[in-house]
Structure 1
Amino acid sequence: MPDLPFIALLRRRIRTLPPQWVDVALTALVMVVQLWPFVGRDNPHDVPWHWWGYVVVVVAVTPLAWRRRMPVPVLIFTLLATSLYDLAENLPSQPIWYGGLVAMYTVAMRSSRWARLSMIVLATCGGMLLVGSSDTALRGIVLFVAAYAIGRAAAVSRAYAAALEERAARLEHERQVEAERAAERERARIAHDMHDILAHAVSLMVVQAEAGPVVVRSDPARAEAAFDAIAAAGRDAMLQLRRMLGVLKEGEGPRAPQPTIGDLPTLAGQVTGTGLDVAYSTSGEPRPLPPDVEVAAYRITQEALTNIVKHAGASRADIRLRWDDDALTIDVTDDGPGSGRSLPSGGNGLIGIQERATACGGTATAGRRADGPGFQVSVRLPLPATAA
């Protein structure tokens, strides 16, 4: 049966109160209930009820205010006090000693296993020895066992709730840690992309800017083409940077897609404008790739071309894509003298190529060509099982 709204509200309010206030209120309530027989029942004698009864009730109930701090001593003190109630005559009968039940409930909920078992044995055995009527003794034993069972159920329920809260807190912490790691990975990816974009654009612009003054008088058309190439490289870099940084803004409109393998011919054409003859070719049957592999293939090729423009001193470069059954192989070669670097001891560009390939589950190698002068970067990116 679901709780009534008033009862549910009352429970929430009680849980927000300080524990000591709740214990004091509970002690006062039990005190009123235990003293009620002194005012709510008719006295068969002409004299008032004996003062001893008031003393025993007050002494037996008052320790409940400290039941959370000292559950076992409070229970023992309460049981001893209530056992002295019948020492005087002319006292109203007490059908139930609620203080002992509350103390037993607290012991069952908060004490250790041996303390709990010792107290339940003490309460039941003491009830059988001190109470004259067997019916009264049996009723007391049943009540104490019930209070013990309710206390254990409450303890198990609280432990379960605490375990759930701890698990929820742990999962939330793990979620935050994973979110922070994802943010770090995203920042690293953005840093790599910015490095590739800026290094490629600046390299093209520097090469064209150096060539422009040389041919500005002898070949004005070529000089004009050089300046056009500088402007085009700058515009392309700005477009890619704006596209990349747009993902960091909330509420941004539709965003342009990241570059893919389909943009490699355009990239080859941009580099050709620097005076480097770039050839692009493919073999095999192309197939769809995951977005991260598409971007990685483009950035790897872009970085390899940037290294050629900056360091190789080459006149020709070749981009070859080979589609196999289980992998895509990208070879970027040149015919320049270069600097002789190889993975992984090269510059940041070569290291970035290797990191991108590894992130996609592939491999990357770089070094001198075996079939002639020049440098070669070879990357193998595995194809997904569905595509294969």
Structure 2
Amino acid sequence: MLALDDDWLRPPPTRDQQRTDALVGTGLVVLSLLMVELLRSTPAVEDFGGRTAEAFGWGVAAVLPLVVRRRFPITVMLLCSLAFYGVGERVTPVNASVVVQIGYFMSIYSAWAWARNRRALYVASAAVIVGMFAWLVHIIVTSPFPDVPDASGITSPAVALTLITFGVNIVYFFGAMAWGLAAHRSAHQRELLAQQADELRAERDLSAQRAVVDERLRIARDLHDVVAHHVTGIGVQAAAARHVLDRDPAASREALAAIESSSRSAVREMHQMVGLLRDADGDGGAQPSLTGLRDLAGAASDDGLAVDYRVVGDAFPVPPVVGTSAYRTVQEALTNVRRHSTARRAEVVLRYLGGGDAVEVEVLDQGTPRPAARDGRTGYGLTGVRERVGLHGGECEIGPRPDGGFRVRVRLPVEQEAAS
């Protein structure tokens, strides 16, 4: 309950809180002086047995420490306890002052609500409780009990008054402690909630930054796939047209027509991509899918590379994002065949696997790698393929084949709920 191992330190009081304590403490001093004067005016008290000046002094001492109750809570509790004992011994009627009673209660409450050193608090509180109840026992034992007739209750007047005295003090002391402990725990809980809110804001900001980076990577992959595929085809056809321009004009015209077709396709796909980025709903145009793989293979064949296309398995619905990723994978693989391989023939295979659990695309060729570019740079296409596969939680196999050639194989899981 007391959480002895609780290492949380409550933040010290703010300047406004310290200013409030000073004002409240000063007000209690004034009220305590007024209460002493009112007590002096009652016939039962008269002049405090000739200790009027001392009574006013003890009335101030009992509440004056409260001006710093949240700044030095344990010290204030100890000082108020000593003052309370002193009042009881020297000018007992002042203890009946409601201001003194409230002030002492506030000192105990403040200690339990604001003490930063909890172990010191427990030791000081134990000393206060033991001292207070030992003092009560001393008063009961040494003070003469008034001679009153027996009442009709279940016990004698002496026992009844003793039980009432102890009961009131138990409620008083432990009530103040319990209230202060509840305030301390409430402050701790508020700080934890504030920390959690800060962590959530930081995590939200980090997620937003990550989303921006992911979106930039996606745009980079799509730009690379679209531009590299068509520009590579244009480069191949332009080179072919240049070689046969003089001796075979018809072939040159076919190459130029292919260049025109590739450039138009590139512009069309770029428009679709820009429309998709500009549209707030993300529906800026039709994105490529598995149904476009046959045309993609045919277009690659028009660029001077014979590409065979076949489908394995029974077709089933595939989410658009998976279809687009598979299409871009094949597009990048065919681009690499034309740019980096001597192969004149390639094969594109689309496989529907596992009763609707996954789709697989594979691009195979039998060529050998061309000499590396002079600048030694490497492209980003295969890196983009791996990133796409990673986003879908799929598998990829990219590298040379044991019997010659190169393989790009990608398997993407399909969630039927998303596909339907």
So what's the TM-score if we normalise by structure 1?
0.79
Deviations 1:159-199 (A, max 9, x none): 22222222333333333334433433333333222222222
Counterpart of 1:268 in structure 2: which amino acid? A
CA contact (8 A) 1:308 1:314 kept: yes
Matches of 2:209 and 2:54, distance apart in 1? 69
Partner of 1:4: none
CA contact (8 A) 1:120 1:148 kept: no
Cα distance change, pair 248–78 in 1 and its aligned pair in 2 (3 A) = farther
Partner of 2:232: 203
TM-fit CA distance, 1:204: 1.1
Partner of 2:59: 57
Note if 1:119 corresponds to 2:128: yes
Name which of 350, 364, 378 aligns with 2:397. 364
Cα distance change, pair 130–33 in 1 and its aligned pair in 2 (3 A) = farther
Partner of 1:318: 347
TM-fit CA distance, 1:243: 4.0
Q: 152-161 vs 123-132, which deviates more?
A: 123-132
Note if 1:164 corresponds to 2:193: yes
Partner of 2:29: 31
Note if 1:331 corresponds to 2:333: no
TM-fit CA distance, 1:158: 1.7
Cα distance change, pair 225–128 in 1 and its aligned pair in 2 (3 A) = farther
Matches of 1:27 and 1:141, distance apart in 2? 25
TM-fit CA distance, 1:102: 0.6
Q: 297-306 vs 352-361, which deviates more?
A: 352-361
Partner of 1:286: 315
Matches of 1:215 and 1:353, distance apart in 2? 36
Counterpart of 2:361 in structure 1: which amino acid? I
**1:240-319 equivalent positions in 2, closer than 5 A:** 240-244=269-273, 251=280, 254-319=283-348
Cα distance change, pair 93–308 in 1 and its aligned pair in 2 (3 A) = closer
Deviations 1:338-364 (A, max 9, x none): 4499xxxx9644444444345432231
Partner of 1:106: 110
Note if 1:213 corresponds to 2:217: no
Name which of 184, 188, 193 aligns with 2:222. 193
CA contact (8 A) 1:319 1:331 kept: yes
Matches of 1:128 and 1:147, distance apart in 2? 21
CA contact (8 A) 1:63 1:74 kept: yes
TM-fit CA distance, 1:18: 1.6
Matches of 1:34 and 1:257, distance apart in 2? 84
Partner of 2:72: 70
Counterpart of 1:101 in structure 2: which amino acid? F
Deviations 1:32-54 (A, max 9, x none): 44234245568146987823222
Cα distance change, pair 364–233 in 1 and its aligned pair in 2 (3 A) = same
Note if 1:232 corresponds to 2:261: yes
TM-fit CA distance, 1:150: 0.8
Deviations 1:11-33 (A, max 9, x none): xxxx9972211211221332344
Partner of 2:158: none
Name which of 401, 407, 410 aligns with 1:379. 410
CA contact (8 A) 1:317 1:333 kept: yes
Cα distance change, pair 168–175 in 1 and its aligned pair in 2 (3 A) = same
The count of residues paired between Structure 1 and Structure 2 equals 367
So what's the TM-score if we normalise by structure 2?
0.74
TM-fit CA distance, 1:128: 4.7
Cα distance change, pair 31–229 in 1 and its aligned pair in 2 (3 A) = farther
Counterpart of 2:110 in structure 1: which amino acid? T
Matches of 1:253 and 1:368, distance apart in 2? 39
Q: 146-155 vs 236-245, which deviates more?
A: 236-245
Cα distance change, pair 339–83 in 1 and its aligned pair in 2 (3 A) = same
CA contact (8 A) 1:296 1:356 kept: yes
Partner of 1:83: 85
Q: 196-205 vs 296-305, which deviates more?
A: 196-205
CA RMSD of aligned residues (A): 3.6
Task: Report the identity percentage.
Answer: 32
TM-fit CA distance, 1:73: 1.7
Matches of 1:90 and 1:268, distance apart in 2? 105
Counterpart of 2:388 in structure 1: which amino acid? R
Matches of 2:371 and 2:246, distance apart in 1? 36
Cα distance change, pair 35–305 in 1 and its aligned pair in 2 (3 A) = same
Counterpart of 1:304 in structure 2: which amino acid? A
Counterpart of 1:68 in structure 2: which amino acid? R
Matches of 2:312 and 2:397, distance apart in 1? 19
TM-fit CA distance, 1:368: 4.0
SS of aligned partner of 2:62: helix
Q: 126-135 vs 61-70, which deviates more?
A: 126-135
Matches of 2:281 and 2:322, distance apart in 1? 25
SS of aligned partner of 1:80: helix
TM-fit CA distance, 1:315: 3.1
